[in-house]
Structure formats: C-alpha cells, structure tokens
Structure 1
Amino acid sequence: MTRKDFVVSADGHILEPVDLFKTRLPKHLRDRAVWEEDFEIEPLVEGGARHFRRLHTPGFEGWTISRYRQTTGRMPEGDPEQVLEDMDIDGVDVQVMHPNLSLFGLYSDDHELSMAHARVYNDYVVERFTPYFNRIAPTAPVPLTDIGEAVAEIERVAASGFRAVLLPAIPPKPYYSRDYDPVWAAAQANGVQIFIHTQTGGVKVNDPESTTLKVVMQNAAQVNQPMTDKAASKRMVTQCIYSTITPQQVICELIGGGVPERYPDLHFALIEFNAHWLASLVGSMDKCWVTGIGQDSDWWLGHWDTDRPATDQPNMAQLFKLNEKWPYPLKPSEYVKRQFHISFQDDPVAVACRHITGLSTIVWGNDYPHAEGTFRGSRELLAKQLGDLPDDERAPIVGGTLASILGYAPILG
C-alpha cells in the first residue's frame, strides 16, 4: 500500500473478567450467571496448549477453549491499554468491540436474566473503557425480549457514549415484525447504529440443545470424527449453506419489513458472517420482483375448482403478478447498498464482488483476539487481498465506511 489507510476493524471482542456477572448481577440471579474458570493441563498434543478456560452459562455447561496464543499467552481482559497495544501491532486505528463469551447469556428466553447480564456488561464497559472510546468502539448488547426495556436500555447506553448497540442474530420474533419499531426509532433518534453478531440469540436456558450452542458443539464433534465422504460433504453444507442462512434471513426480514425505508438514517452491520454469499443474495432479492424478458406475464397457475364458475376461481392466479407487488420505492439491493454493512475477515470472493454488492457494503474485521481471526496477520492479509485496489475502493472497505457511520475521523500524521 502506498499510504497508511485509516483502518477500522468491525469485529473485536472485550474479554470480560471471569467473575464479572457472579459479582455484579442482582443477588437472586448470581447462581445462574455466566462465568468462566481457568485451568492448566499437560498438552493434549506435543507442543500444544496448556492453558484452558471453561465456560458456565445458562442452558449449557462446560464449553472449553484454550487461550489465544497469538497474544503470546496474554489474555487482554479488562485491560484497554493492552487492547490498544495489540491494535497498534495489527495496524488498527479503531476497533469495534463486542462482548465475548457473555454472548451466550445475553439473548436467552429468560428476559430478566438476559437484561441483567446486558446492564452489568454495559455498566462495566462504561466504567473501564470510556476514556478509550476515541479508539475503542464497544457495542452495547440489548436483549429484545421486552421492547419497553430494550428502548430504555438503548437510551441509557447512548447517553453513556456508546455509538452502537448489539442485537441478536436469532431474535425472539422475526425482524419484519412491526413490534420492533420502537427499537428502531430509539436507535435512530439516539444516533446509535445496529450491529448483529453471528451465533447470538436462540438460547433457551433449560435446553442445552438450543440453536447457538448446538452449532458450537457440532463443530467440535466433527473434528474428532474420521473424514468420510459424508463428513466432507457435511462440512461444506454446514459452512457454505447453513452458516449463510441466518444473515440472509436477517437482511430479507429487515428489508421486507420496510425497516430501512422507515428508518433511513439507521445502519445495520452484520458481523463475522463473511460476505462471499452477498452478491448472490442481492441478485436473488431483486429477481423476486422482476418479470424477466421472455417470461409470460399472463401465465396462470393454481387449482381449478369445477364447482365454481370460470369468473370465480380464487385458487387461480397470474403467477408473475406477485413480481409487481414490491411495496417500497427502492429495490432490495439498493437498501443493502445504502444501509447494510457485512463484515469479512479473509474473503477474496467478497472483495472480488465489491462492485455488485457496493463498496460500503463489505467491511473488514480481524475478530480480535479470537484464534479464528486474523490478529497478528492483519497487515499481511489486507496487503494481499486489498493492496492492489485503487485507494477510493480500498478505503471504505478497510475503515472509511465504519468511520463514517460511527463518527470517527481519520487519525492524521
């Protein structure tokens, strides 16, 4: 690259103190708090990890991960100064940061428990990270299981300096529901943008097989199974098809529900879904509402009722008339280009399709400090995938778009 880009990572995580919720939740909820514990073992493989952490969360116990060794063994929990050091290592000017393992406790079917976790987390972020909001942009989780309380929390966190709120990928009701209009109105009125992170929502406190956690455990199980024809196929079906269903559904529900039309100043950032599927989606959404060249607009389909007169056949219809019923002034793809931002880490297909999806529609994130992210390799990754792009095409992808919607000015000098 010929110059220093202003880099804003869409995807980072604040590693909460392991006892944050056990010590700060209302006392009657602490026995159901999200908490973690560290332990050390002899490596499972030669030269492997020694330090592990076990998660305890409503609806599930025992998900275990090793520490993120790309941070040289340090765990940057509760230490914004260390986060800033790591950002400088990775060449990141501003890091958007979401909750970490508390994501499993923030969007459950127990509203009191979810909202209590959200308030504790948001208060902690304000207390510990406010002096660093010029470079760290945390999102404030807001459960949607009670609309009135969701609106109140949006207003509260906006007043505390948050620039974005975090909503679940699997909401209690479909996102086309007009019940959410007070949420969208509160976000727009208070100048906060909407972020939606993968693997959030769908947690049932009494069901360890609930959607999000089941996906996590299935991934672990696949690694320890022999690689068969079925396993190879299943891996691709899961990664290429199933993993893209949720973000596509979120986009279709929001646009189909008229949310971006009614709230044109609101932006929606979908995080850690990658974006290779996006070009196909925008093409398919527009195609829903177009009768193509050569297609017979007078083609009838249905069930003919011989007991009714020919002039009264309610089960027959001109199939392509449905294509004329799009209710909004812009095409679906135009709403995507105007108000949606999909994050990717390492996705050359998304970059190659940028002129189809829109330059502001794909945004980069390093998933700091997760092991599946690009931290400590982000400079190399950006140079490889984006280094040959013209400045005016690269700039919005690596940071310009997010800087604009979140209100960050490029750092000069």
Structure 2
Amino acid sequence: MIVISADGHAGADLLDYRPYLESRYHEEFDAWAKAYVNPFADLQAPEAERNWNSARRLRELEQDGIVAEVLFPNTIPPFFPSGNLTAPLPSAAEYELRWAGCRAHNRWLADFCAEAPGRRAGVAEIMLNDVDDAVAEVRRTHEAGLRGGVLLPGVAPGAPVPPLYDPVYEPLWRTCAELGLPVNHHGGTGAPGLEPNPVALAVFIVEVSWYAHRALWHLIFGGVFERHPNLRLVLTEQGADWIPNVLTTLDYYFDRFRSGDATAEAKFGGPAVAGLSLRPSEYFARNCVVGATFMKPSETPLRHEIGVDRLMWGSDFPHDEGTFPYSREALRRSFHDVPADELNRIVAGNAARVYGFDLDFLRPLADRVGLTEKEIARPLEVLPADATSPVFNPETIVRAW
C-alpha cells in the first residue's frame, strides 16, 4: 500500500536558519541566537536531527512504511519565542523580526523539500499582522515549490490582529482559492500562550484542540466558504471525533439564526447567516478536509459521518505523540476492519488529491517499503510496551467538542 503521512513536522537547527535570513538581520540574529535558551528537551536531544537530517528522516519513515509526507513547522525560527505552532502572534513592535524569521523558515523548507522530490509537500508559514505581506509570501512560496499550501495562524482572544472572520483577510482567501492552495489549520495554534505552571499546562492540554477548531465556524459564519466555494480548509492534528457533534451544533444554531423568532439566537445570529446558501454541515462537506493524524480506534467508526473522502491519516513524525516507530502497528490497530478501498483513500488517495502527490511516482517506493492490505487487516493483539502515541492508549474517548 502507498502510505502518505498528512502530518509531519520539520525545521532547521537554530543556527542553520542564518543563511536563509536576509543579511540585514544577521547581526541581530547572532545576538538573539547567543542569548536564546531552548526550552524544549526534544529539540536539544540527539533525535532532534530528525527535523532536518533528510537522509535519516527518509530512512526512518520508510522503516515505518511511509513514502511521502506533508510538512508542518516544528523547530525555533529566528526571533521566535517558541515553536512556530504555539508562538503567539507578534505585536506591532515584534512583527518585523518575526516576519523575517518566518520567511527564513519557508526558504529553508523549500530546499528541504527539494532534497526528496515528489515525497514532501511543505506548508508555508504566514502571519496575519500585514495581509499584503501574507499574500505576497503565499505567491512567492507557491512559485518556490511549497505545494502544501498555507499554515493559517490561529487568532486567540485578545490577539493583536482581527479574528479570522474579519473581512480584512479577504485578499488571503481569494489568493489561496485562485492558486488552488489548501489553507491548513493545525492543532496548537490559536490558544492563549503557554504558562510555565502545572495547572496551566494541564488546562492547555484539555483546551488546545478546541481553540484550533474555532477556525471552522469563523470561516463558515464569516461567509468565506460562501464567497470561495473552491477554497479548501484542512483541519490537522486536532482529532476527528469532535466533528459530528460540532456539525450538529452548528446546524442547530444556523437554523435558530434563520428562524425569524423573537429570540436572542435569531436577533444575534440572523444578520450573519442572511447571505449563506448552505448549512454549516454542507460547507464542511464541500470545503473541508481533516488531517486526522494518528486516528484512534474510537474515531475510525465515525468515518462515514465525517466523510471517508475527507479524512487523511498522519504519523506526526517526529513528535513523541506520533506513531514512529510503530506506524505499522498503529495502522493495524485502527484500520484492521476497514475495507481496502476506504483505507486507501484515508492513507493515501485523499492526501494525493489535496496536496498533489503523484501516486504513480510513489508506487515503486511503496512496493519496496510499504505495508500490504493483508498486513493491516491483521488485528493488533499486543500493544507496543514503549509506544507513546495516543493511538495505543488502552482506552479511548469520544470528545464532545
């Protein structure tokens, strides 16, 4: 079988970003890098090179039966306070340097993808402080070969930029739709900043996916999908079990907004939905795809409610919660009873459609390193003792949000 991971993470080692940074920022970068203390143990361990060592990465992914992947950011770009996904949006005073670091990451990523032609779809990072800058970077990275689309930052309450439903972002949506680029919204973004105390960290883990979900209803009620029927939103690494319940809730509110009743729901929401021609669940079916990452056994039975053609599996390499080095076992655990045609769409076909992978090109690689349908159809009876991915948790839950 061809297996494409729709959720991988990569980035340069800190000092290796310097050549990709515009020279006028080198002196400031040198001072910043000298003073920066990396708080992430996994980015200081020897295994951190999985983020940037192309040969090692290909070797270990092939060991897991994976032949291609979509690449989201992971390491610390120049002038960022933390990793790309969880860093809060910059203030006006911080924007110039952070934007320079963002572009440096995109340049590095284009070169990294070029080291494995046809096997990596890099997702370009943007910021929302200046929409004209964002649009220009979308066009530049598209021309540079980053075919993974755009990483849409989340906008937390109180952020220094307008919420995602604001009309100020219309040029961004228009450009992505024009170029046929998916807009990716990854778990971890959009949440309030991390605070270094035990309770705050626990609350973050409970809430972080919900903050990432917010982009869905912002773009629906903001009319973005109505104006751009071909725009594709990819919701990645934020689970899949929440989707049926949330779509039911959104449809309920939509119907109440349109009711014309003398209720707070109709009064508050009526104007927003007056120009919408579809219900939220219908926009989801037309415009959205889910990077379900390491789908858990509790999520697999929901695939028909969500839509088999809207689900993409991912290994989350090289994160601790990812499935490496047990991706083969993870696929058996979650998909052993899924028909082959559905399974092929979830682990390869849908990602090929969304991100432009050539399945004929990947076929010889899969024949060499991939899993067989017969192998995946064998239920996993013994969980790997040292596995760290949630897919191997003995008990799983279905989330309500």
Considering the TM-score relative to the shorter chain, is it more than 0.5?
yes
Aligned pairs for 1:298-309 (under 5 A) are 300=262
Say if 1:239 and 1:155 are closer, same or farther in 2 by CA, change over 3 A. Answer: same
Aligned pairs for 1:126-145 (under 5 A) are 126-145=110-129
Confirm or deny: 8 A CA contact 1:300 1:318 kept in the other structure. yes
1:412 and 2:363 aligned: yes
Aligned pairs for 1:205-354 (under 5 A) are 211-214=192-195, 217-218=196-197, 221=198, 235=202, 239-240=205-206, 242-290=207-255, 300=262, 322=270, 325=273, 327-344=275-292, 345-354=294-303
Pairwise CA distance, 1:169: 2.1
* Distance (Å, rounded) in 2 between the aligned partners of 1:323 and 1:279: 25
Confirm or deny: 8 A CA contact 1:105 1:117 kept in the other structure. no
Which residue pairs with 1:40 in the alignment?
none
Which residue pairs with 1:162 in the alignment?
146
Larger Rg belongs to: 1
Which residue pairs with 1:84 in the alignment?
58
Identity value in percent:
28
Say if 1:300 and 1:73 are closer, same or farther in 2 by CA, change over 3 A. Answer: closer
Pairwise CA distance, 1:370: 1.0
Which residue pairs with 1:181 in the alignment?
170
Pairwise CA distance, 1:252: 0.2
Select the structure that is richer in strand: 1
Superposed CA offset, 1:4-29 (max 9, x none): 2x222121111312213455534447
Confirm or deny: 8 A CA contact 2:88 2:193 kept in the other structure. no
1:94 and 2:76 aligned: no
Name the aligned partner's letter for residue 6 of structure 2: A
Gaps of 5+ in 1: 38-54, 203-210, 223-230, 292-296, 303-316
Select the structure that is richer in helix: 2
* Distance (Å, rounded) in 1 between the aligned partners of 2:52 and 2:140: 22
Pairwise CA distance, 1:301: 5.2
TM-score normalised over the length of structure 2? 0.75
Superposed CA offset, 1:112-154 (max 9, x none): 1222012111111223432424001111101111011111101
Q: Secondary structure at the match of 2:90?
A: coil
Confirm or deny: 8 A CA contact 2:87 2:193 kept in the other structure. no
What count of residue pairs does the alignment treat as equivalent?
A: 344
Confirm or deny: 8 A CA contact 2:89 2:127 kept in the other structure. yes
* Distance (Å, rounded) in 1 between the aligned partners of 2:302 and 2:17: 43
* Distance (Å, rounded) in 2 between the aligned partners of 1:64 and 1:322: 46
Say if 1:133 and 1:191 are closer, same or farther in 2 by CA, change over 3 A. Answer: farther
TM-score normalised over the length of structure 1? 0.73
Q: Secondary structure at the match of 1:328?
A: coil
Say if 1:320 and 1:181 are closer, same or farther in 2 by CA, change over 3 A. Answer: closer
* Distance (Å, rounded) in 2 between the aligned partners of 1:116 and 1:173: 21
Which residue pairs with 1:151 in the alignment?
135
Which residue pairs with 1:190 in the alignment?
179
Say if 1:94 and 1:301 are closer, same or farther in 2 by CA, change over 3 A. Answer: closer
* Distance (Å, rounded) in 2 between the aligned partners of 1:128 and 1:106: 26
Superposed CA offset, 1:285-335 (max 9, x none): 1111336xxxxx796558xxxxxxxxxxxxxx9779959955322211111
1:7 and 2:3 aligned: yes
Say if 1:245 and 1:34 are closer, same or farther in 2 by CA, change over 3 A. Answer: farther
* Distance (Å, rounded) in 2 between the aligned partners of 1:337 and 1:366: 24
Which residue pairs with 1:398 in the alignment?
347
Confirm or deny: 8 A CA contact 1:18 1:35 kept in the other structure. no
